[in-house]
Structure 1
Amino acid sequence: MARLRVNRVAEQMKKEMSDIIEHRLKDPRVGFVTVTGVDVTGDLQDATVYISVLGDDEKKAATLEGLNKAKGFVRTEIGKRIRLRKTPEIQFKFDQSMDYGSHIDRLINDLHRSED
């Protein structure tokens, strides 16, 4: 039962986080960001927000810096939108699954080319 609530909170945070980043953040460092997932601890104290950023490594680093600077604002907005006793601490991380998928795709394509 408790895990179901944690999953619901994570999904709601993902939805609200996407909206906040897209419409409310004014930091020019924050470019095109997609929130790919949110993991919330069982006690709802901490949340890891997985993001994907369009651009090179420099753009990704600038975006992460901008998001970390706006962490307090984002957390306050989440607290207003989701009724919880305590709003979780937020940590932003890059979602590596897209890069990993691209790497696997390249390896498969290379294998097919070497067979020809």
Structure 2
Amino acid sequence: MATERQARLADRIRVLIAQRLEKGLRDPRLGFVTITDVRVTGDLQHASVFYTVLGDEKARNDTADALRAATGMLRSEVGRGLGVRLTPTLEFIADAIPENAGHIEDLLREAAERDAAVAGLAVGAAYAGDADPYQKPREYDDVQ
């Protein structure tokens, strides 16, 4: 469970890196990057930066190489912006959100197709037994 300080530091790191990437790096390999999350360890010494890249596999690989090459410069920027005694090390991790979202969309589409097939079968179906299978209380004739 993240402490409040970890959460504040992670959020500030996310903003600082996003701002720096928005200004641009002098690396042509860098694609359209979105910083999705930052997680800081309990001792505040290491930050895992999760990102996504718009584009194909080559764009993702090139961006990963560009971020790896710019890690030192980005860490310096983060250190200046944070104002803490020790600047955390940065590790860039490609986020699997787009792939997971695509897989979930495929599963939902498949489930909708199966539901439609079952609904099509149910249109002409008839009950196997009585239409109302529940027992009703007997009505007794008034015996006098």
Deviations 1:76-111 (A, max 9, x none): 011111111111110000111332122111111122
- Give, in whole Å, the separation in 2 of the partners of 1:24 and 1:31: 10
Normalising to structure 1: TM-score of the pair? 0.93
The equivalent residue for 1:90 is 90
Question: Which residue identity lines up with residue 39 of structure 1 in the other structure?
Answer: R
> SS at 2:3's partner residue?
helix
Identity %: 37
2:34 aligns with 34
- SS state of the match for residue 44, structure 1? coil
Q: Aligned residue for 1:16? A: 16
Could you tell me which amino acid in structure 2 is paired with residue 112 of structure 1? A
Q: Which has the higher contact order (CA 8 A, sep 6+)?
A: 1
| Structure 1 segments of 4+ aligned residues over 3 angstroms from their partners | none
Cα distance in 2, alignment partners of residues 32 and 114 from structure 1: 37
Aligned residue in 2 for 1:112:
112
1:104 match: secondary structure: helix
Q: Which amino acid is the alignment partner of residue 86 of structure 2?
A: K
Shift of 1:3: 1.0
After the TM superposition, which of the residue ranges 104-113 and 8-17 deviates more from structure 2?
A: 104-113
Q: What is the CA deviation profile of residues 3-61 of structure 1, one whole-angstrom value per residue up to 9, with x for unaligned ones?
A: 11010000000111101112141211111000000000011110000000001111100
Structure with a larger share of its residues in helix? 1
Return the letter of the residue paired with 2:93: K
> Matched residue pairs, number?
115
Aligned-partner residue type, residue 79 of structure 1: G
Which residues of structure 1 form unaligned runs of 5+?
Answer: none
Residue 78 of structure 1 is matched in structure 2 by 78
Unmatched segments (≥5 aa) in structure 2:
117-144
User: RMSD value over aligned CA atoms?
Assistant: 1.3
